[in-house]
């Protein structure tokens, strides 16, 4: 049965650039079907917005158990296939179908319970699943089988992260009837996760061992999924312009920086957008009082008082609230946050802290203990609650995000939209989206937040102090910074147009013979 890439018809008004394309997105995560991080937000929204610009789009992802908990309608198709895997095993699969919310972009699920019917996507409390290499090699090969059965030729494949990064090499080496010259784009959402496995994993690709070479699959004697995609995709894209440059350096290149530097302008960066229907303080159902740029002061105050009551913090309209939402890990700057937080609590500085997140058990334990010792200043919710995340964004005066590296980051964009000023490190997407407050940026009216001057606890403490001094003593400047952030457009519209331009450029260069075929 042919599969159809169906264009949406929604109220987004985006111009069409060039010819209508048939674009297929390969991913392991897409909201609302599966999510562990920002990849899911991108792949749950970008295809629909690109389709609104006049293109046919489809998504292919594994049929994880989570898709059946998504409350979306999942239907069977008539398509099934079988793939030869190591040990002379024939592993069968079938294809299920649903659609992204708010449109008609189809999502095709590779249903293979042996590989994908598990409690978690990539691993459990004991670590990564031991057969992850085989699982995602199977998914890459299955995705090619699905694309072969589409009712019109695929004009471009966008792969996302290491789990799909073998596809460009598989297509080039042996498409099994799929056009070997199909243009490909690889999006890197976090270079630190590369999919490195022993060389024997290559057997699952079904290719002869003479294809296991350093110009594709082989990497220092092993197999590195992400490296394979980087060297074989036609274009490599990251989720912010600054991160695209950072990953070419030894500090942020995670061992792949020499390869990335060799690609030159084949590496680019496009800032992620946010879903401005879901993240909209003017109509957010999670808030006790909705607000916009015209009445944010009253709106944020009412939400703060309500959150203080919810979290058991003393009711105080004047105390600055510092919000933190996200993963509890050193990568997110918790090695800086905890010392500063301890000082604030020990010295009983006039601040309240609202924390939501999970991750490192040591950090979780420390936060739980600090909250029990200082219940009037710190509320810590270990776990995740999407409604609470919205309320913290709406109620906080400051949002602290001193990440060691941040490919893009979404919480700072949510904060800007909700009138919450950010204190961030000058890295990746944080550097691209938060303009540091200086005398110059105040005068030219571009400031939207505060940067740390160094990556240590003292720098974080100084930046928070600078922000609080402005809040208390320069209220008109503070007001302008808040309102400037609220009026910036971080919707997916502008980002989607940049992706379309990248797709058209990739196809054009490929057709003109300026890329590998």
Query: Binding site membership for ADP-alpha-D-glucose: which residues?
Result: 35
The 3-class SS string of 359-394 reads: ECHHHHHHHHHHHHHCCCCEEEEECCCHHHHHHHHH
Strand partners, 399: 323, 422
DSSP summary character for residue 104: -
Q: Can you read off the two tokens belonging to residue 286? A: 């999670």
- Residues contacting 468, CB < 8 A, separation 6+: 320, 351, 398
Q: How many helices (H) and strands (E) does the chain have?
A: 17, 20
Q: Considering only CA atoms, give the Rg of the chain.
A: 24
Our CA dihedral for 141, 193, 114, 219, rounded to 10 degrees, sits at 50
Which residue ranges are tagged as binding site?
Answer: 35
- The number of beta carbons lying within 10 Å of the beta carbon of residue 365 is 11
Which stretches of 149-278 are DSSP H helices? 167-173, 225-232, 241-246, 257-262
Contact 433, 412 (CB under 8 A): yes
- Residues contacting 471, CB < 8 A, separation 6+: 320, 397, 421, 478
d(CA 47, CA 56): 9
Contact 142, 178 (CB under 8 A): no
In the chain the first and final C-alpha atoms are separated, in Å, by 29
DSSP summary character for residue 200: G
DSSP summary character for residue 314: P
Residue position matching structure tokens 């894209």: 237
- The number of beta carbons lying within 10 Å of the beta carbon of residue 232 is 22
Residue position matching structure tokens 């024939």: 90
Could you list the beta-strand ranges (E) of 112-163. 123-124, 127-128, 156-160
């Amino acid at each position: 049965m042919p599969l159809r890439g169906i264009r949406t018809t929604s109220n987004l008004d985006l111009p069409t650039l060039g010819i209508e394309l048939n674009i297929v997105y390969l991913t392991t995560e897409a909201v609302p079907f599966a999510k562990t991080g920002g990849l899911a937000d991108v792949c749950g929204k970008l295809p629909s917005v690109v389709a609104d610009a006049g293109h046919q789009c489809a998504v292919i992802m594994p049929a994880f158990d989570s898709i059946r908990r998504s409350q979306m309608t999942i239907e069977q198709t008539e398509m099934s296939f079988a793939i030869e895997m190591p040990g002379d095993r024939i592993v069968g699969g079938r294809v299920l179908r649903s659609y992204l919310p708010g449109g008609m972009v189809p999502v095709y699920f590779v249903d293979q319970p042996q590989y994908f019917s598990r409690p978690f996507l990539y691993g459990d409390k004991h670590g990564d699943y031991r057969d992850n290499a085989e699982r995602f090699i199977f998914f890459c090969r299955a995705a090619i089988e699905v694309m072969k059965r589409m009712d019109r030729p695929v004009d471009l494949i966008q792969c996302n992260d290491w789990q799909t990064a073998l596809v460009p090499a598989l297509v080039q080496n042996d498409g099994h009837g799929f056009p070997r010259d199909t243009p490909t784009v690889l999006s890197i959402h976090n270079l630190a996760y590369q999919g490195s496995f022993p060389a024997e994993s290559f057997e699952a690709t079904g290719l002869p061992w003479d294809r296991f070479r350093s110009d594709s699959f082989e990497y220092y004697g092993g197999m590195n999924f992400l490296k394979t995609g980087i060297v074989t995709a036609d274009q490599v894209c990251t989720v912010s312009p600054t991160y695209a440059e950072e990953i070419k350096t030894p500090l942020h290149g995670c061992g792949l920086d020499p390869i990335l530097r060799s690609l030159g302008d084949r590496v680019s960066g496009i800032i992620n957008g946010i879903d401005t229907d879901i993240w909209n303080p003017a109509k957010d159902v999670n808030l006790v009082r909705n607000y916009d740029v015209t009445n944010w002061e009253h709106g944020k105050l009412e939400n703060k008082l309500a959150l203080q009551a919810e979290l058991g913090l003393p009711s105080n309209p004047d105390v600055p609230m510092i919000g933190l939402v996200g993963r509890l890990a050193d990568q997110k700057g918790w090695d800086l946050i905890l010392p500063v937080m301890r000082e604030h609590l020990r010295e009983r500085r006039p601040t309240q802290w609202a924390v939501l997140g999970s991750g490192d058990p040591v950090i979780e334990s420390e936060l739980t203990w600090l909250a029990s010792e200082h219940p009037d200043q710190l509320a810590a919710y270990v776990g995740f609650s999407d409604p609470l995340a919205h309320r913290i964004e709406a109620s906080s005066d400051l949002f602290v995000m001193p990440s060691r590296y941040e490919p893009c980051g979404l919480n700072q964009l949510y904060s800007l939209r909700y009138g919450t000023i950010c204190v961030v490190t000058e890295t990746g997407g944080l550097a691209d989206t938060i303009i540091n407050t200086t005398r110059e940026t105040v005068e030219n009216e571009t400031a939207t937040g505060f940067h740390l001057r160094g990556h240590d606890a003292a720098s974080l403490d100084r930046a928070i102090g600078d922000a609080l001094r402005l809040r208390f003593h320069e209220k008109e400047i503070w007001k302008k910074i808040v309102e400037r952030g609220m009026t910036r457009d971080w919707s997916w519209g502008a980002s989607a147009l940049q992706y379309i331009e990248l797709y058209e450029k990739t196809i054009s260069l490929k057709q003109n013979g300026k890329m590998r075929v």
